[in-house]
Amino acid sequence: MVRRLDPAVEERLAAALETATSYFMGNADVQGAALALASRLDEAGIPYAIAGALALAAHGYLRVTDDADVLLTREGLAELERRFVAAGYERSGSKGLRDAQRNVKIDVLTAGDFPGDGKPKPVAFPDPAQVAERGERFAVLPLERLIELKLASGISAPHRLRDLADVLELVRAGGLPRALGERLDASVRPKFDELWLAAQGADPT
């Protein structure tokens, strides 16, 4: 006897497939929102760096996301809000924004804050003006700083285990060398080495 699939489950699957297809084709709303935000920040002269899942994609590991993470200074966030809130963006929480046209949440990470549990630790969000790598359309967190932040977050916050999985998958996708750990902050090197070794394992076929 064939069991009937719950229509709500089928609808969610169809929506997920549509979202993933749009994302992997490069024309999802979140990607459009990131492009528009980068353009506005560049035009306003506000230092920034794309972070989060979009930065993972820039460094070789593509996974679907529905929000855009951007690193700013507190002054940069204040200037962004002054210029663009009510002109395309809405506030969402204490630091977040929303692209009103595309209905995409923008999570703002502020330089000087600490990833994961938010408590002081050797790794903090850096000043984007000092670390961002620039291309023609984006400024992005460099690979080492992205990995450091992901590791510090996942180590300190049990609800952020996906950050550790992101590092493992980034190692796999990019074929990253074990020696990269030597360029990371000492507080996260052992976890990077652990994940690097785990990434070398093959799934059973």
Q: What is the pLDDT along the chain (205 residues), one digit of tens a residue?
A: 778 888 898 899 898 888 889 888 888 999 999 999 999 999 999 999 999 999 999 999 999 999 999 999 999 999 999 998 878 889 887 778 999 999 999 999 999 999 999 999 999 999 999 999 998 889 999 999 999 999 999 999 999 999 999 999 999 999 999 999 999 999 999 999 999 999 998 777 6
CATH fold for the domain made of 27-199: Beta Polymerase; domain 2 (3.30.460)
- pLDDT at residue 205, rounded to an integer: 66
- pLDDT at residue 55, rounded to an integer: 96
3-state secondary structure the chain: CCCCCCHHHHHHHHHHHHHHHHHHCCCCHHHHHHHHHHHHHHHHCCCCEEEHHHHHHHCCCCCCCCEEEEEECHHHHHHHHHHHECCCEEEECCCEEEECCCCEEEEEEECCCCCCCCCCCCCCCCCHHHHCEECCCCEECCHHHHHHHHHHHHHHCHHHHHHHHHHHHHHHHHCCCHHHHHHCCCCCHHHHHHHHHHHCCCCCC
